[in-house]
Structure 1
Amino acid sequence: MIIPFHVQQMLSRVRGLFQTEQDAARIAPDTSPVSSLRPVRSASPKSLERYWAKLGAGSAAKDALADANSCADPAIYSANIENLIGTVKVPVGVLGPLRINGVNAKGDFNVPLATTEAALVASYARGAYAATKAGGVSTAVLYEGVLRSPAFVFEGLLQAGQFVDWVVNNIDALKAAAEATTRHGKLVSLEPAIDTNIVFLLCRYTTGDAAGQNMVTIATHALCEHAAAQCPIPIRNWYVEGNYSGDKKASSLGTLTGRGRKVSASVVLPKAVVEKALRTSVAEMLDYGRVANLGALLSGQLGAQAHYANGLAALYIATGQDAACVAESAVGFTRMEARGEDLFCSVTMPNILVGTVGGGTGLPSQQAGLSVLGLAGAGNGAALAEVAAALCLCGEISIVAAMAAGHFTDAHASLARHR
């Protein structure tokens, strides 16, 4: 057997650290008393001062995190965070105009991106420039539905089947119980899945202009309580989420059926645009695309794409989305095909979870980001989803061109290391 070199190095370091009983004590449990920070939800200047006094951090740290501008009124953050000690300032860049010819997003958009990764904004901006020169990106929300998957535990398979039969005959009452908790959420489908004595109910909701994570959780809880109270089949236990929905996880279910909004975006890049704006050729981009798709296949990637997460994370942070949803939103399929001498490029993304109301969208900086886009407030949720897909398409175009032409490393060296 051959021991890999990195394993040998790790073992050598461990042996050097743990040579006596006293050395081993460093990883033993430590039950000495600790003074925990008392959770506070409603932030105030007084609570900020109390936390900073307990932290014992230097004044430089306090000045950076709790500056007078962002924390002049701490209460504005109370609905979004507990134990507030300040805010983190992430650089925000902008690209645009990105022309979008969408079912919901129509016009030229300036897109704010919050990131600490040099070269990211430049790369997406280059893709946006090429797409806009080609006439813009066509986009459409194909369908929508935020999932929650409660689980019900029964004595055996027979009782699980009887419960599903009861659900089928009581869908209207279950739907009414769920929708009584929200003005905007609608339960549009209820799909049971049985695994012996456990039943998962896949509840799909439309959520208006909100991303809707909390909305669907509260609605599903009400649905479960109604089922527990009314169903004649004895339920041993139930859980509002059975980890079947793909919430904040890349999953096969989300890839196939979608969770959030499923969006397609496409553009045909003329040969001249590819050569002048991207400094490569259609043939070279297609050649690299075939290799990249093989890599995605061999590695077992869910979908096939280059770097949706880069653009999504930056957009989500800039506009007040739940950044953890990038885990599932960054799944999808990128396609590039020859159309005569030109290049057809598209992305299809089944799990875009965004909103223009609720969550972090109302905080000052994030509201400003949505305003830069022209998509703040109600009526813009679907448009923001199309912008997100168009943005990711631009990122795919740019990175494929850079890889195909051999410019990827040079770009990062000049923009990230030697700027």
Structure 2
Amino acid sequence: MTAIRPLRINGLNAHGDFHVPMATTEAALVASYARGAYAATKSGGISTAILYEGVIRTPAFVLENLLNAGLFVEWVVTNVDQLKAAAEATTRHGKLVSVEPMIDNNVVFLICRFTTGDAAGQNMVTIATNALCDDIVARCPVPLKAWYIEGNFSGDKKASFLGLVTGRGRKVSASVTLKADVVERILGTTVQDMLDYGQVANLGAHLSGQLGAQAHYANGLAALYIATGQDAACVAESAMGITRMEARGADLFCSVTMPNILVGSVGGGTSLPSQSAGLNILGLKGAGHGAALAEVVAATCLCGEISIVAAIAAGHFTRAHENLARHR
């Protein structure tokens, strides 16, 4: 495990200079993210904010017919307060913020959305949702043919349109305006060259049907998730979002918006020795740091986007991998 050079973040929850730990064997990855962090810090740092929060679980209920599905949804809507109480009785930290029905003929999915405190919260919301379902089974007068704790609608560990639009976890936006001289001196290219390549890259994203449009969130996400004890499989859904690059006078505005950041500063693998050390490097171990950790994740991904776009725009991408990976 290694850490990239100090990254300055001016966020709603994350403030200061952070040494970001990365667990990876790819030398070029660490160098690239470190370069992006250096350029962002030299331009005043990255602004970050959490826009939305809500981990979802989507149980599915099978009924006899469409009429019974409608009656079932009517009963759920009128009993939300009792269902909320049943779910929240299983956790001190989780709060059920909404139950949204989705009907497909005789099958009903309930989108159960929770806040999870400082934990990533996947086990938390599963246990809470199971209690909610048990309460439905015990009290609902509409006969059920079957029910399942997850109907494969939530996007758990999968890229999905639902996740891109509504989010699953913490939705975070991060941005920085890179000074033109920083782009030239540190990134070895120009603002216009980065914009020109960005236009082609966005076209490629649209033509290939990407969910969102970005270069490579997954690289930084995987390294940071493993280093801090997160569920690495969640990279599958976390690596979605939108990268933007626009001219701001002579300078370059860069941003990422990521709707599915699933991280926690407590729970899961965060207490393992190496992963605990990773969180301590960040200064974000334990209660009260979950939101700041999510902002650090988005800021780190922005650093990677800046560096890879600059490398490809300048024609340095292949040479960097040859020097740092093949011939190191």
TM-score normalized by structure 1? 0.78
- Counterpart CA distance in 2 for 1:264 and 1:149 is 26
Alpha-carbon distance, 1:129 to partner: 0.1
- Counterpart CA distance in 1 for 2:279 and 2:25 is 19
1:336 to 222, 245, 249: 245
Q: Secondary structure in 2 aligned to 1:416?
A: helix
Q: Which position in structure 2 is the counterpart of 1:260?
A: 169
Q: Which position in structure 2 is the counterpart of 1:104?
A: 13
- Counterpart CA distance in 1 for 2:5 and 2:283 is 13
Deviation readout 1:205-240 (Å, 9 max, x if unpaired): 000000000000000000000001100000111001
Residue 52 (structure 2) pairs with residue 143 (structure 1): yes
**What are the equivalent positions in structure 2 for 1:81-230 lying under 5 Å apart?**
92-230=1-139
- Counterpart CA distance in 1 for 2:239 and 2:27 is 20
User: Which amino acid in the other structure matches residue 118 of structure 2?
Assistant: D
Q: Which position in structure 2 is the counterpart of 1:73?
A: none
**What are the equivalent positions in structure 2 for 1:39-58 lying under 5 Å apart?**
none
User: Which amino acid in the other structure matches residue 301 of structure 2?
Assistant: C
Alpha-carbon distance, 1:96 to partner: 2.0
Alpha-carbon distance, 1:395 to partner: 0.1
Q: Secondary structure in 2 aligned to 1:119?
A: helix
Q: Secondary structure in 2 aligned to 1:355?
A: coil
1:389 to 298, 304, 310: 298
Q: Which position in structure 2 is the counterpart of 1:408?
A: 317
Alignment check: 8 A CA contact 1:103 1:139 kept = yes
Q: Kindly indicate whether structure 1 or structure 2 has the higher relative contact order, using CA contacts under 8 Å at least 6 residues apart.
A: 2
User: Which amino acid in the other structure matches residue 295 of structure 2?
Assistant: E
Q: Which has the higher strand share?
A: 2
Deviation readout 1:25-59 (Å, 9 max, x if unpaired): xxxxxxxxxxxxxxxxxxxxxxxxxxxxxxxxxxx
Alpha-carbon distance, 1:175 to partner: 0.3
Q: Secondary structure in 2 aligned to 1:122?
A: helix
Q: Which position in structure 1 is the counterpart of 2:213?
A: 304
Q: Secondary structure in 1 aligned to 2:27?
A: coil
Q: Which position in structure 1 is the counterpart of 2:277?
A: 368
Q: Which position in structure 2 is the counterpart of 1:346?
A: 255
Structure possessing the higher radius of gyration over alpha carbons: 1
Q: Secondary structure in 2 aligned to 1:203?
A: strand
User: Which amino acid in the other structure matches residue 172 of structure 2?
Assistant: V
- Counterpart CA distance in 2 for 1:353 and 1:252 is 17
Deviation readout 1:280-315 (Å, 9 max, x if unpaired): 000000000000000000000000000000000000
Superposition misfits of 4+ residues, deviation over 4 angstroms: none
Unaligned runs of 5+ in 2: none
- Counterpart CA distance in 2 for 1:383 and 1:276 is 30
Alpha-carbon distance, 1:93 to partner: 1.3
Alpha-carbon distance, 1:402 to partner: 0.1
Number of aligned residue pairs = 328
**What are the equivalent positions in structure 2 for 1:320-331 lying under 5 Å apart?**
320-331=229-240
- Counterpart CA distance in 1 for 2:190 and 2:313 is 8
Q: Secondary structure in 1 aligned to 2:230?
A: coil
Deviation readout 1:360-405 (Å, 9 max, x if unpaired): 0011110000000000000000000000000000000000000000
- Counterpart CA distance in 2 for 1:369 and 1:185 is 25
Alignment check: 8 A CA contact 1:96 1:108 kept = no
User: Which amino acid in the other structure matches residue 243 of structure 2?
Assistant: T
- Counterpart CA distance in 2 for 1:114 and 1:403 is 24
- Counterpart CA distance in 2 for 1:308 and 1:242 is 27
Alignment check: 8 A CA contact 1:140 1:263 kept = yes
Alpha-carbon distance, 1:118 to partner: 2.1
Deviation readout 1:240-285 (Å, 9 max, x if unpaired): 1000000000000000000000000000001011000101000000
Alignment check: 8 A CA contact 1:311 1:391 kept = yes
Unaligned runs of 5+ in 1: 1-91
- Counterpart CA distance in 2 for 1:365 and 1:337 is 39
Alignment check: 8 A CA contact 1:156 1:196 kept = yes
Aligned Cα root-mean-square deviation (Å): 0.4
User: Which amino acid in the other structure matches residue 254 of structure 1?
Assistant: G
- Counterpart CA distance in 2 for 1:143 and 1:287 is 32
**Identity across the alignment (%):** 78
Q: Secondary structure in 2 aligned to 1:347?
A: strand
- Counterpart CA distance in 1 for 2:86 and 2:252 is 50
- Counterpart CA distance in 2 for 1:299 and 1:382 is 33
Q: Secondary structure in 2 aligned to 1:388?
A: helix
Q: Secondary structure in 1 aligned to 2:310?
A: helix
- Counterpart CA distance in 2 for 1:200 and 1:262 is 23
Q: Which position in structure 2 is the counterpart of 1:26?
A: none
- Counterpart CA distance in 2 for 1:94 and 1:176 is 43
- Counterpart CA distance in 2 for 1:399 and 1:128 is 12
Q: Secondary structure in 2 aligned to 1:313?
A: helix
